[in-house]
């Protein structure tokens, strides 16, 4: 299937050559970590990659990796649901040794679905294959669904809370923490809310640099270790500055643009096709869009405009699966959420008035809602869409009690009016 969208600027500038001139351009991927969450549990594990390519692990650790092989993006440490996701990266720049994701290979039970982008420089040319046979979309089989949004292919496994998006600018893998938490390894790391163990090679050994770790995860073939890129001075593409400008201001307080800017800066200096910087802007805009902040950014760039066909209108935040005449307005009986509420997700079955997080007991929580769970103060964090519980619940100071009756001593006991706190009581000495 050929993508109906066109990156006009990408095609026009593909042959231009830029000479890097800024020594600060290369940053250690290991230093690109921005935030450490203090949550006890995620509802989803999200790993993404864009550009040439820049990875963000399930736990939010950033790194860049220029492999030219097929690697394990995610596999289960202990096989439970038979899900494995590989990524094929190939050198995609005529001049520099930088790579682009060419395909995502999803193995689930007996199915092997490959999502391929045939055109790495310019507009995406996307196709999906089942066991090497091209499949028409939309496609549904054995619990796996694949649809196209035009710009991306979206593979979902609803029963396992799995969503995989792959397109011109990269990939995003979203897994249910319930099914895959603490049980993933590969380029996306272990989803356990701990960035410290994300650069892990097979056998459970940790290394300092995830770009080194990535060499150790060939999917099946033998992969040659990647050559390390060297620092070159270069000018940063001015479109990168948009990330920190007022254009994205509404998103800044929810999601820092810093790592996306560093990635943009890196691509400015390592890709002979300057339009690759668009991928960092798109990745940040997508991240904002998922937080409910829709930003019309493409018209403000020199390189990233998209031309729609004459009968279509561009929408930066449209539905992943556009409704068609075949899928809407077909009434059916069933049990639905009451009017005014909606299903949090298919997995939980919970009806909510506003989207937010589910706590560990499955109770819906609104974004920014503060509550006590398991004697800890928790908040439903909008940026990570997860529940953070950084502190134990604060208890009132215990009033000192003195026991005057003979045979009684002072002991700490659970406060019957608040099981999270203790109080002092007089108890008969045994």
Q: Are 298 and 306 in contact (CB under 8 A)?
A: yes
Residues 338-349 as b/e (b if ≥16 CB within 10 A, e otherwise) read: eeeeeebbebbe
Identify which range of 195-203, 219-227, 241-249, 310-318 contacts Ca ion by CB under 5 A: 195-203
CB nearer to Ca ion: give 78 or 417.
78
CB nearer to Ca ion: give 183 or 237.
183
CB nearer to Ca ion: give 189 or 257.
189
Q: How far is the CB of 194 from Ca ion (least distance, A)?
A: 4
Site for Ca ion in 238-257 (CB under 5 A): none
- Could you tell me which of 49, 60, 15, 218 has the C-alpha nearest to residue 117? 49
The footprint of Ca ion on this chain (CB under 5 A) covers a number of residues equal to: 7
CB nearer to Ca ion: give 211 or 271.
211
Q: Are 117 and 125 in contact (CB under 8 A)?
A: yes
CB nearer to Ca ion: give 1 or 207.
207
Q: How far is the CB of 103 from Ca ion (least distance, A)?
A: 25
Under the binding rule (CB under 5 A), the answer on residue 201 touching Ca ion is no
Q: Are 196 and 77 in contact (CB under 8 A)?
A: no
Distance CA 41, CA 389 (A): 9
Under the binding rule (CB under 5 A), the answer on residue 39 touching Ca ion is no
Distance CA 303, CA 197 (A): 37
What does DSSP say about strands 83-91 and 62-64: parallel, antiparallel, or unpaired?
A: unpaired
Q: How far is the CB of 182 from Ca ion (least distance, A)?
A: 9
CB nearer to Ca ion: give 65 or 344.
65
Using CB under 5 A, pick the residue from 43, 66, 148, 190 that binds Ca ion: 190
Under the binding rule (CB under 5 A), the answer on residue 197 touching Ca ion is yes
Q: How far is the CB of 192 from Ca ion (least distance, A)?
A: 5
Site for Ca ion in 50-89 (CB under 5 A): 59
Under the binding rule (CB under 5 A), the answer on residue 127 touching Ca ion is no
Q: How far is the CB of 197 from Ca ion (least distance, A)?
A: 5
Q: How far is the CB of 57 from Ca ion (least distance, A)?
A: 7
CB nearer to Ca ion: give 186 or 356.
186
CB nearer to Ca ion: give 150 or 189.
189
Identify which range of 103-111, 196-204, 224-232, 255-263 contacts Ca ion by CB under 5 A: 196-204
Under the binding rule (CB under 5 A), the answer on residue 215 touching Ca ion is no
Identify which range of 36-44, 190-198, 228-236, 276-284 contacts Ca ion by CB under 5 A: 190-198
Query: Which pair of structure tokens corresponds to residue 47?
Result: 């790993």
Q: How far is the CB of 232 from Ca ion (least distance, A)?
A: 32
Under the binding rule (CB under 5 A), the answer on residue 107 touching Ca ion is no
Q: Are 219 and 71 in contact (CB under 8 A)?
A: yes
Under the binding rule (CB under 5 A), the answer on residue 194 touching Ca ion is yes
Q: Which long-range contacts (CB under 8 A, 24 or more apart) does 386-391 make?
A: 386/37, 386/39, 386/41, 386/42, 386/43, 386/44, 386/357, 387/39, 387/40, 387/41, 387/43, 387/357, 387/358, 387/359, 387/360, 388/37, 388/38, 388/39, 388/40, 389/38, 389/39, 389/40, 390/38
H/E stretch holding 281: helix 277-290
CB nearer to Ca ion: give 59 or 381.
59
CB nearer to Ca ion: give 197 or 418.
197
Q: How far is the CB of 183 from Ca ion (least distance, A)?
A: 11
Distance CA 169, CA 121 (A): 10
Q: How far is the CB of 74 from Ca ion (least distance, A)?
A: 12
Interface pattern 140-179 for Ca ion (x via CB under 5 A): ----------------------------------------
CB nearer to Ca ion: give 23 or 206.
206
Instruction: Please work out, in degrees rounded to the nearest 5, the angle formed at the alpha carbon of residue 64 by the alpha carbons of 205 and 316.
Output: 125
Does residue 73 come out as left (phi exceeding 0), alpha (psi in the -120 to 50 range) or beta?
alpha
Decide: helix, strand or coil at residue 260. Answer: helix
Distance CA 5, CA 308 (A): 6
Instruction: Mention every residue, 6+ apart, whose C-beta is less than 8 A from residue 241.
Output: none
Kindly give the interhelix angle for 277-290 and 258-270, rounded to the nearest 10 degrees: 160
Using CB under 5 A, pick the residue from 127, 198, 359, 381 that binds Ca ion: 198
Q: How far is the CB of 424 from Ca ion (least distance, A)?
A: 42
Distance CA 272, CA 278 (A): 13
Under the binding rule (CB under 5 A), the answer on residue 186 touching Ca ion is no
Q: How far is the CB of 290 from Ca ion (least distance, A)?
A: 20
Residue numbers at the binding site for Ca ion (CB under 5 A): 59, 189-190, 192, 194, 197-198
């Amino acid at each position: 299937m050929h993508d109906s969208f066109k990156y006009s600027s990408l095609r026009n500038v593909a042959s231009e050559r830029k000479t890097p001139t800024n020594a600060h351009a290369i940053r250690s991927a290991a230093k690109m970590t921005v935030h450490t969450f203090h949550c006890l549990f995620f509802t989803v594990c999200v790993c993404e990659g864009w550009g040439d390519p820049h990875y963000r692990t399930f736990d939010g650790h950033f790194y860049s990796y220029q492999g030219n092989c097929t690697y394990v993006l995610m596999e289960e440490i202990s096989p439970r649901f038979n899900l494995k996701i590989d990524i094929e990266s190939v050198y995609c720049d005529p001049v520099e040794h930088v790579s682009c994701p060419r395909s995502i290979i999803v193995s689930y039970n007996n199915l092997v679905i490959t999502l391929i982008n045939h055109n790495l420089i310019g507009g995406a040319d996307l196709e999906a294959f089942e066991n090497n046979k091209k499949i028409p979309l939309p496609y549904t089989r054995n619990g796996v669904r694949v649809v196209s949004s035009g710009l991306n292919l979206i593979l979902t496994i609803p029963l396992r809370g799995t969503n995989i998006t792959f397109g011109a600018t990269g990939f995003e893998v979203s897994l249910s923490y319930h099914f895959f938490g603490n049980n993933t390894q590969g380029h996306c790391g272990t989803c356990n809310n701990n960035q410290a163990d994300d650069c892990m090679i097979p056998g459970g050994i940790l290394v300092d640099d995830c770009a080194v770790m990535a060499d150790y995860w060939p999917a099946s073939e033998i992969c040659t270790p990647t050559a390390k890129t060297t620092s070159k001075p270069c000018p940063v593409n001015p479109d990168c500055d948009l990330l920190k400008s007022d254009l994205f201001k509404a998103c800044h307080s929810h999601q820092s643009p810093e790592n996306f800017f560093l990635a943009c800066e890196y691509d400015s200096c390592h890709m002979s096709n300057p339009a690759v910087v668009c991928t960092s802007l798109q990745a940040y805009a997508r991240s904002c869009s998922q937080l409910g902040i829709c930003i019309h950014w493409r018209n403000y760039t020199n390189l990233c405009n998209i031309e729609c066909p004459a009968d279509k209108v561009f929408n930066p935040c449209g539905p992943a699966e556009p409704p068609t005449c075949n899928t809407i307005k077909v009434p059916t009986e069933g049990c639905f959420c009451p009017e005014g509420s909606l299903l949090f997700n298919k997995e939980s079955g919970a009806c909510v008035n506003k989207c937010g997080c589910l706590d560990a007991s499955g109770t819906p929580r609104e974004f920014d809602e503060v509550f006590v769970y398991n004697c800890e103060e928790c908040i439903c964090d909008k940026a990570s869409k997860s529940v953070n519980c950084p502190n134990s619940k604060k208890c009132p100071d215990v009033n000192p009690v003195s026991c005057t009756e003979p045979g009684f001593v002072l002991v700490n006991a659970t406060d019957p009016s608040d099981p999270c706190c203790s109080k002092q009581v007089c108890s008969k000495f045994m």
